[in-house]
Amino acid sequence: MDNKMSMSEWLDRLYPAITRKLSIDTSLDLEATELLDKLTSGLKTSEQELRALIEGKTCLVYGAGPSLSDTPLKVLGDRSLVHVAADGAARFFIENGMTPDVLVTDLDGGNDVIQACARNSIIVVHAHGDNMVQIRELIPSLLESKAKLILTTQTIPIGKVRNFFGFTDGDRAAWLCHEFGASEIILVGMDFGPEIGKYSKPYGTKVDLKRKELKLDIARQMIDRLASERSISASPWFSAGNDSFLDNQEVKKEFMEAAILQARKGMAEGGIPIGAVLVKGDRIISRGYNKRIQTGNRMMHAEMDCLGNALKNRGRSEVGGSTIYTTLMPCHMCAGAIIHYGIAKVVAADSKTFPNAKELLEREGISVADLDLEECRLMLEDYIENHEEYWSRISDDVVSSTQNKNQLRLGELYE
């Protein structure tokens, strides 16, 4: 994707918008940056080591949202992946006898977490106007323990203090992985919701919920900006090829029933009975159905309607890593959109219609479940049988006059 963030875009547009929204004194950010550079005089940062660790690898970026606790422990222990924790999310590793490969922190996730990670992790310390006390307190001890450090800021870079973009620990961690050449970035525990996860702050810390909500919204926007530049998956349930250490997400009957309900909704409007729902975790985040007839738009397939609704209402970052349930195997157009937006899994009720699209999805590393549901196949066949005049009109678009229209594959009618 040719949409690379520039320092001028960050400093002239995004950073000022964020500081205005949160009433941040930018002079204090600059003062903190100068302080961090001064206190680390003579330090050789660990940027080369970080690049060697990340470049060409799959990076899991861990936020401290409520869903972090659902992460299988075998994921944390998989050494073929690079584990990058945003501040308090590292406590989840520590509680399970591990530390992340990288800790991205503005030093408010707990001194005990930072000290525990100092022994084995690369620590990316961020300076801003609200953490100068912590910088003065913790940097000397980290230097004394010879911790591997990288220094960042959200304002103008000074000396060895760099700006890799991003604002919260979580989205900065994702931008960091991008900057250092990660082949794949997968977000874990980054929920962007109103519920505060237990790993977000040390126990007993008072949280300004309104300000926290504003920061989470900024984080989501920064992830969306990164997603415009590269592919990102936003779920722990992802495909790592045939040898994936994660089990396939369970196919749930109620989600396919919801897709069938969408198909029937379209049919009630006089449309083609194909429906789809998009699922993240255990909830439906978007619905859609084929609206080709209703809108006169040939591209308005069920999957395209469903994905379009999700992108409009949820944002690109939440679409990545989700599962789409559809009553008909996606065509090549819809398969292309599914690949482009990082959908992790396709559950189709009928795969006989688009076998080639199924092969394309699987070739691109997307898990495909074929339920072969007679109910959906018969619903579509009955619809075609009862709308012969319509089918005879649109079949001329896709079939030459020498072909037998009675032998058309359903898939050809939807191309």
Joined tokens for residue 314: 């949820």
Separation of alpha carbons 329 and 315, rounded Å? 24
C-alpha 374: how far from chain center: 34
* Closest to 178 (Cα-Cα) out of 86, 318, 57, 33: 57
What is the enclosing helix (H) or strand (E) of 413?
A: helix 410-414
Bridge partners (DSSP) of residue 83 are 60
Joined tokens for residue 327: 């009553």
Q: CB of 285 within 8 A of CB of 294?
A: no
The order of strands in the sheet holding 275-280 is 283-289, 275-280, 323-326, 345-348, 367-370
Joined tokens for residue 107: 């030093």
What are phi and psi for residue 405, nearest 5 degrees?
A: -65, -25
Q: Which residues, 6 or more positions from 105, have their beta carbon under 8 angstroms from its beta carbon? A: 86, 87, 90, 113, 114, 123, 124, 125, 126, 169
SS3 for 352?
A: coil
Helix-helix angle 209-227:15-22, to 10 degrees? 170
Q: DSSP letter string over 95-106?
A: HTT---SEEEE-
Residue in 47, 184, 303, 318 annotated catalytic:
303
Beta strands 367-370; 58-62: pairing state: unpaired
Q: Which residues, 6 or more positions from 392, have their beta carbon under 8 angstroms from its beta carbon? A: 405
303 is catalytic: yes
Active-site amino acid positions: 303
